[in-house]
Structure 1
Amino acid sequence: MSSGALTAFILRSPVFAGLLCFFVCAGPCPGREDDQARVLYARAQKLLSEGDPDEALDRYLTLLKKHPRTEWSALSLWDMYRIYIHQDSPEPAFEVLNRLIVEQPGHFEKAHAAQLQLVQRILGSGKEARTNLESVKKKKPLPPEIVVEMLKTVIKNGPHSEVGIQAHYYLAIAREQAGEKTEAIAAHEDFAETYSSHELADDAGYQSAYIAYKSWKSMRSTGPHQRENAAVALAWFIARFPESDKAAQARSCLAEVRAAELSELLGLARYYEARSNPKAALIYYQQIASRFPEVIQTDEVLRDKILSLKGAEEVVGPVR
């Protein structure tokens, strides 16, 4: 049989045609692809052991591009994460973890938890990374705005998971570090109310009050508006979480705020009294009596002064 006749026979035969279609469509052999990926991974590991992490990263990236669906791709991503942590490069480390979450479903929980731990380290709220690699000099701190976006991603990846819930708490901390105090207070209050049974709820409530307290303390003047905000926030926390181990500290802060207010009112009252303006002085003494009744009950001299000024006003009558 001639070659032309043989070719015609093969094309007319349904059996041979089916086999030909199978081999054309089957593509590369899975076993062969796995072997190629294993070789690339071994080369990257060798480079890493020789102290050349940058070249190792190039090999890992090549493996991910050519063999994204093999078991070696997930191992490569975890190795890349460790290299970036060693190099103190949190942004690419975070992105590698995100690839594990998106591209490697079997690694979601571990990678998601690692994302939160990474951000905790950046915020100074988590344990330092533990690796077998020699430590390196730390780079410039990551801008807080980027940390905020990282936490938004953690929440988006698992909004109802324990990791996602905790990310809401750390997002409030990141907002404060970014200078967004109003947003941070609102975020902490929202966490405390939304997740009231969570172990971090009372801490979130305390943080919202403490931010307001620190804002008042940082004012060079007496800061009456900031002082009032701090007093309200601290009183809210004490009422909302009376059993918290932070309640004692909150009471101490609130006592300091109230002492500052009392001192200011007394100063104003005595100022007008020294300038022979008893009517103006009485206004502030009455505020003291209204806002600090416990002081009036224990300070007999102050109580008598208020009564005498009030009696004088009733005798003289209103100023016309």
Structure 2
Amino acid sequence: MEKKKNIKIEFDLLENGLDFIDNALHAIISTEEPHKLKYAILHISAGIELILKEILRLEHWSLLFENINNANYNHLQSGDFQSVSFPSIIKRLEGITNGNISENQKKHFNIVRKKRNKIEHFSFKESSNALKSTISKALTDIIEIIDENIEIQNTSDESKRLYKSIRRESSKFIEFVDLVRAKLKHDLKTLEERNIKLIDCPECFQHLFPLDGSYTCLFCGYTDTPENITALYADTILDYNSYYAYKNGEECPIKQCLSCKNETLILHENSAFCITCDSNWEIEDLALCSDCDEFYEKPEDERSDYGVCPDCWQNKLDSYD
């Protein structure tokens, strides 16, 4: 009986991260099998985190420890230490190295991590279109960060090979997204003629979720109740966390709609739009009621604005009867 070879498996930090991503991309492009797509998210998330750690390591190896005061090179070599957490990675990249990360990049990486956490700790439901869209955005971001912070030509031959493979495979994701959007050209024109507002889909992040009462994304097919769509939008698009918002005194971006009175009005940048009834306003045209803390439309005559909404004003008048 032939003796099996004892093969030595060895990846440096960058190779390890690139290999995770390359493996995931090949799986996603070549199959629609649910379990392979599931593991692809796990591998993409792990790969991104390892590459960001490599950028920290290039600055100084002690940055790979969650508590820098406990940094010990022997522990680093053995792997017996508490590695830097993802929030700390981002904070250190912004404050110590030249690896500044944009808000969009942080958002895309966090979305991948949230999906990974759902897989590891809960149930998981995802369309292949949404998955590919999510990965295409995170992939574009990590490639940009690599180009800005790592000199690939000075890395190992394996890192160079993996990086070239990732760049090649990533173009297929871009082509996929472009192809789906091209097929929607007629639908988009119809929506434009009807003056229907489009928002970012909270599932796939394509700007293809129409406020037309269908509650369905044109790109990935995500659909749910208006309340659940609103909550997911606040979570994924606005990165809103109720616990941290309460702790830090941040305002909730979800309000009661002026028209339908459902708690599905979303405040985003300079606009407010309702998932339930499709109504939308410019923020500058709204005021916050001092009594009920809900929005109302400012009257054309500013002199008739008493700082309260019409319902609360009527309640005040009724109380004098």
Question: Same fold by TM-score, threshold 0.5 exceeded?
Answer: no
Between Structure 1 and Structure 2, the one with more strand by share is: 2
Whose relative contact order is higher, 1 or 2, with alpha carbons under 8 Å and at least 6 apart? 2
Structure holding more helix per residue: 1
- Scaled by the length of structure 2, the TM-score of the pair is 0.31
